[in-house]
Amino acid sequence: MRVHLTVKRIRALKFAPQGERFEVMDAIVPGFGVRVNAKSMSYILTARFPGSRHPTRRTIASVGEIDLASAREKARKWLEKMKKDQAPPTLRERIRRRQNPDEDTFAKVAEKFLRNHVHRNKLRSAREFERIIHKELIPLWGKRDFKSIRRSDVARMLDAKEETAPVQADYILSILSKLCNWYMARDEDYVSPIVRGMRRTKPRQRARDRVFDDDELRIFWKATSDGTTYSAFVRTALLTAQRKTKVLEIQWGEINDEGVWIIPTAFREKSNAKTLGLSRLALDVIDSQPQREDSEYIFAGLGPKPIDGLSKMKKRLDNRMGELNGEPVPYWVVHDLRRTARSLMARAGVRPDICERVLGHAIPGVWGVYDRYSYEEEKTEAISKLAELIEQIISPQKKAANPIPLRFRQPDRQEDLQSTG
């Protein structure tokens, strides 16, 4: 029975006959209710942990010990906590672990996958694999037997994530699928729980072509003039055209006295050279950050690591941009800054293959195989052209020098150049 529980309704309840009990569930908070037996009444909560098939029932307090409003609020808080926590292992799982202490838990398999596949093969997205596995998957299923993760567990996890970040849900699914396929190739009895139809977005939604126009770029620059670490981070992402994680983890020791960024090996794409010369504007943004003794990162958070809680910071930036624009700015993500930078470099007269080399993209065809020149000077000049054009856009009253076409060696094969455009 589900009703709107009130103090009056609870007072009107009669005790159950000896040896029996019944429950009256609340219509406001899911799973919250009152259990009535022969001698007492208690506030209870019945809910499922993520990944658990069976509901868990908890006693909140005896009726009369706390009031109804307090019990209902405590139930809400417990529900939130249960959504974040993983389900406790079942009795069968606990017995199996005791008999087989070395059995593969999800955490153990995930760490093996990172060590023996992701890092050994030097995947360029290794940091993202680590982030998703350590922040999204291990906290949810880490102690469970890897083989116990079922299709319903995955679907439940994706459903929860889809409410706020459907594209992120698909990204998590992609990494989880690779992990399951890797394990399946090593265990003939295992079948991956990932099947077709689990994606939460359509291909058209996943393929992004968002770039800032000039007005949006001016709004973005003004909104990021507040001096916060996050604003400096996104400005640097735009001015360097590099991936979010790579920019986020820049360290002070990686930039030499000539303003050249010495890119760590872990972040070097297959076609990307070891260095990237930074523009004066990018160096000004970086110099605005305080160099702290307790962190080696330029965009440091409260502790020694880079800033965290990027989603909340991005939301605050969106709000500032909306206020400056008079209405919300169309949805964008940090990776769109990289695409915007690529488009601006082309607009500034940078040759297509140099734009691709700045971004770290592989150059296709024979040209990409045999041309081993580093193009360091050309990439540095491209980054400078990008900064000059951005300054010209954000301050149209300040006339920047006309973009001068970059001086490049002519490619050996014209068709290869066209294929990169």
The pLDDT value given to residue 368: 54
Please state whether 350 falls in left (phi above 0), alpha (psi between -120 and 50) or beta: beta
The pLDDT value given to residue 273: 56
Question: What is the rounded CA–CA span in Å between residue 286 and residue 147?
Answer: 47
Same topology between domain 2-83 and domain 91-206:
no
CATH number of the structural domain 91-206: 1.10.150
Tell me the residue ranges of DSSP E strands in 74-206.
none
The pLDDT value given to residue 126: 84
Contact 262, 270 (CB under 8 A): no
Stated length of the chain: 421
CATH number of the structural domain 2-83: 3.30.160.390
Buried b (16+ CB within 10 A) or exposed e, 361-372: bebeeebbeebe
> pTM to 2 decimals?
0.52
Structure tokens at 392: 């010209």
The alpha carbon dihedral of 337, 343, 349, 351 has a sign of positive
Contact 365, 386 (CB under 8 A): no
**Which architecture does CATH list for 214-419?**
Orthogonal Bundle (1.10)
- In the chain, the amino acid numbered 113 is F
Strand pairing of 22-26 and 2-3? parallel
Within 13 Å of residue 109, how many CA atoms lie on the same side as its CB? 26
Read out DSSP for 17-57?
PTT--EEEEESSSTTEEEEE-SS-EEEEEEE--TT-SS-EE
Buried b (16+ CB within 10 A) or exposed e, 254-263: bbeeeebbeb
Q: Where are the domains of the chain?
A: 2-83, 91-206, 214-419
The pLDDT value given to residue 179: 95
The pLDDT value given to residue 409: 36
Per-residue pLDDT of the chain (421 residues; tens, 9 = 90+): 678 899 999 999 999 888 888 999 998 999 999 999 988 899 998 887 665 666 777 788 889 888 999 999 988 888 887 776 544 455 555 555 565 655 689 999 999 999 999 998 888 778 889 989 999 999 999 989 898 898 888 988 888 877 667 778 888 999 999 999 999 888 877 888 888 888 766 654 445 678 999 999 999 999 999 999 999 999 999 999 998 988 999 999 999 999 999 987 655 555 555 789 999 999 999 999 999 889 999 999 988 899 988 888 999 999 999 999 998 888 888 989 999 999 999 999 999 989 999 998 866 665 555 565 778 999 999 999 999 999 999 987 655 444 433 433 344 434 444 444 4
Cα 17 to chain centroid, rounded:
54
What are the distances in angstroms from CA 61 to CA 20, 49, 64? 20, 20, 8
